[in-house]
């Protein structure tokens, strides 16, 4: 065989798997048809968070008077916004390139197609083709934006979540079809930039499986910021108009008509499996993705699938975790099965993060759960930051932490203490006896946990 392992796809699942296998002594080749870093670095997580930071600064400037600072006005230089975003992307992609090189991973820019379970044909940019063989393969081809069967949804100028990241001007109005994580993050970015945003969501709440206490509170907060949110609304048609587009839908209260300069369709993502010739080697898959076991191995021995392509949890950090698990399994290293206590972070205003069971899930399962909440408005650091909006909610069963849900400042950073607690089945007493520094935002977690046993000091939290 030419290699011990061939990885198809250079995103956060693929390149991490390639590096880990190389660290364990494997001869590794990584095949990527576009740029290293995949959707995450080039067209997803990173550019979106770069724009989120711009929006965050704009929100601060709009409320700067409360800090005793006066700024008469400000302008947004779109060219500089994109330049900064691209510099961040290029720096990270360059870092991935160097890491692969330092670990002696051969990188080929091309498209791989399976010929048999040990061989792929690689088509390179220059038109040449060659065959490569390996004992093992990891498929990490990621996902693509889903386009729903809505009349007019395939018009060229309608944005997907990837297209909109390269906007040429700030639209006066934007209709967002889909109130999931990506749709709401982008809705908040453009809302902060001054765009009149209308969200159309088919389900009765935004942000899908997020804890309902958080989604209700966020919906109210976003409406106060001028965002129009239409829930339980089905989009039937998108028409081009003189000034942009008209979105026609049907909601609980009747017909919905939204006029907007631009339209963003963000209704989820679909695994990229076409073109791999999976049928020829008998790999089991469906529209939800390639089917894998708890170590990400497919039904064909020696072939693994990690990240979005297996459809389990479409998050970059899950892809990386799966990539490591698969690489270690291939190389015979000690490796645990996948741990699905997964922190989820949503970059809206204020931030949202969660791990473990929601209260809705605990209720459906009939668990004898307790909840405790603590408001950021009672936290000194949050008030000093001028970000007292939001709360933390902790859920426990038999004194063990099973769910943590945060809406507030730096929620994406705070969630990991909760994730560790859930993953390690930590009890209320273990958290209570861990000193938390003051004044810090992390004190809200301590206070909420203490509230589970009625011992919260600084505020009597809501308890159930």
- In degrees and rounded to multiples of 5, residue 233 shows phi and psi of -125, 125
Catalytic annotation, pick one of 317, 410, 438, 462: 438
Q: What is the 3-state secondary structure (H, E, C) of 201-227?
A: CCCCCCCCCCCHHHHHHHHHHHHHCCC
CA distance 244 to 241: 5
Q: What are the residues facing 124 on neighbouring strands?
A: 110
- Which token pair is 419? 């994730």
143 closest CA partner among 312, 330, 292: 312
The two counts, helices (H) then strands (E), for the chain are 13, 23
CA distance 464 to 449: 13
CA distance 419 to 345: 12
- Which token pair is 358? 């929601």
- The answer to whether residues 202 and 234 touch, using CB atoms and an 8 Å cutoff, is yes
* Three-class secondary structure of residue 116 per DSSP: strand
User: What stretches of 140-234 show up as alpha helix (H) in DSSP?
Assistant: 181-192, 212-224
Catalytic, 405? Answer: no
Radius of gyration of the chain from its Cα atoms, rounded to whole angstroms: 24
* Three-class secondary structure of residue 90 per DSSP: helix
Which H or E run contains 23? helix 14-23
Does the N-terminal peptide bond of residue 297 adopt cis geometry, omega within 30 degrees of 0? no
Cβ-Cβ contacts under 8 Å for 390 (sequence gap 6 or more): 217, 350, 375, 376, 406, 407, 408, 409, 411
List the catalytic residues. Answer: 438
């Amino acid at each position: 065989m030419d290699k011990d392992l061939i990885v198809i796809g250079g995103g956060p699942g693929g390149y991490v798997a390639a590096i880990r296998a190389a660290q364990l002594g494997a001869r590794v080749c990584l095949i990527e048809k576009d740029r290293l870093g995949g959707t995450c670095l080039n067209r997803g997580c990173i550019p979106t968070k770069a724009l989120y930071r711009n929006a965050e600064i704009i929100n601060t400037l709009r409320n700067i008077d409360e800090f005793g600072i006066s700024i008469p006005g400000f302008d947004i230089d779109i060219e500089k916004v994109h330049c900064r975003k691209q510099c961040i992307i290029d720096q990270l992609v360059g870092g991935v390139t160097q890491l692969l090189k330092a670990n002696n991973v051969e990188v080929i820019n091309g498209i791989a197609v399976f010929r048999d379970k040990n061989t792929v044909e690689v088509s390179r940019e220059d038109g040449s083709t060659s065959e490569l063989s390996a004992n093992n393969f990891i498929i990490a081809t990621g996902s693509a934006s889903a386009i729903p069967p809505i009349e007019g949804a395939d018009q060229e100028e309608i944005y997907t979540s990837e297209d909109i990241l390269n906007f040429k001007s700030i639209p006066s109005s934007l209709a967002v079809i889909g109130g999931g994580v990506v749709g709401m993050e982008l809705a908040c970015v453009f809302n902060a930039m001054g765009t009149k945003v209308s969200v159309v969501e088919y389900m009765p709440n935004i942000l899908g499986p997020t804890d309902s206490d958080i989604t209700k509170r966020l919906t109210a907060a976003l409406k106060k910021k001028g965002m129009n949110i239409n829930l339980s609304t089905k989009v039937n048609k998108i028409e081009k108009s003189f000034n942009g587009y008209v979105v026609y839908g049907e909601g609980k209260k009747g017909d919905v008509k939204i006029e907007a300069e631009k339209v963003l369709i963000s209704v989820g993502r679909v695994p990229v499996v076409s073109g791999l010739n999976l049928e020829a080697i008998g790999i089991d898959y469906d529209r939800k993705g390639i089917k894998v076991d708890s170590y990400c191995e497919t039904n064909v021995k020696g072939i693994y699938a990690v990240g979005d392509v297996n459809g389990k949890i479409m998050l970059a950090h899950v892809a990386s975790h799966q990539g490591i698990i698969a690489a270690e399994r291939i190389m015979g290293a000690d490796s645990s099965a996948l741990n699905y206590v997964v922190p989820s972070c949503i970059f809206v205003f204020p931030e949202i993060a969660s791990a473990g069971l929601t209260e809705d899930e605990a209720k459906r399962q009939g668990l004898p759960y307790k909840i405790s909440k603590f408001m950021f408005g009672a936290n000194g650091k949050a008030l000093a930051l001028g970000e007292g909006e939001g709360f933390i909610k902790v859920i426990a069963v038999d004194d063990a932490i099973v769910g943590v849900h945060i809406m507030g400042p730096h929620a994406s950073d705070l969630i990991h203490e909760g994730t560790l607690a859930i993953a390690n089945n930590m009890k209320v007493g273990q958290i209570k006896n861990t000193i938390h520094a003051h004044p810090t935002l992390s004190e809200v977690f301590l206070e909420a946990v203490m509230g589970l046993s009625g011992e919260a000091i600084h505020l009597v939290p809501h308890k159930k």
